[in-house]
Amino acid sequence: MSETQYLVSTLAIGADHGGLAMKNALVSRLREAAVAVQDLGTDSPASVDYPDFAHAVCRAVVEGRADRGILVCGTGIGMSIAANRHHGIRCVLAHDVTTARLGREHNDGNVLALGGRLLGEELAWEIVATFLAIPFSGGRHSRRLAKLSPA
């Protein structure tokens, strides 16, 4: 997907120990693709708590320091739960390319959660590249997004 146009200028990424290897591989590939990446850690294999990294990445997105975020833990589940507690974050947990595409088209996802222990690097890269390239469809989906937060 070397010709792909990514709809981001700045991306924040974070991982726990379960997602470290995948995160580092993605940072390399994103930088090769000329995407500006803020790597918010973790940086070592030592055991850490995934919500700390989810919150750091989501704050960067909510505060406008990053257009999008990527979070990697063992399964992606803990990261997605933590991320979706932030007002303004729509975190898509994707283990396949179709979910990543629909998470952009229908849900305007701004953070992607991945399972570093579940995915191979090539599939993870295809998921990321899709998530960064596909626009939100708008229309009826905008009405539904407006109803996401309880009144």
14 binds ligand RB5 per the rule CB under 6 A? no
| Beta carbon nearer to ligand RB5, 16 or 67 | 16
Q: With CB under 6 A as the contact rule, which of the stretches 70-78, 84-92, 100-108, 129-137 interacts with ligand RB5?
A: 70-78
69 binds ligand RB5 per the rule CB under 6 A? no
CA dist., res. 23 & res. 116, Å (int)? 8
Characterize 58-93 residue by residue with b for buried, 16 or more Cβ atoms within 10 angstroms of its Cβ, and e for exposed: bbbbbeeebbbbbbbbbbbebbbebbbebeebbbbb
22 three-state secondary structure: helix
Total number of residues shown for the chain: 151
Q: With CB under 6 A as the contact rule, which of the stretches 63-71, 73-81, 94-102, 130-138 interacts with ligand RB5?
A: 73-81
Q: Catalog residues that contact ligand RB5 under the rule CB under 6 A.
A: 16, 18, 50, 73-75, 77-78
Catalogue the active-site residues. Answer: 73, 106
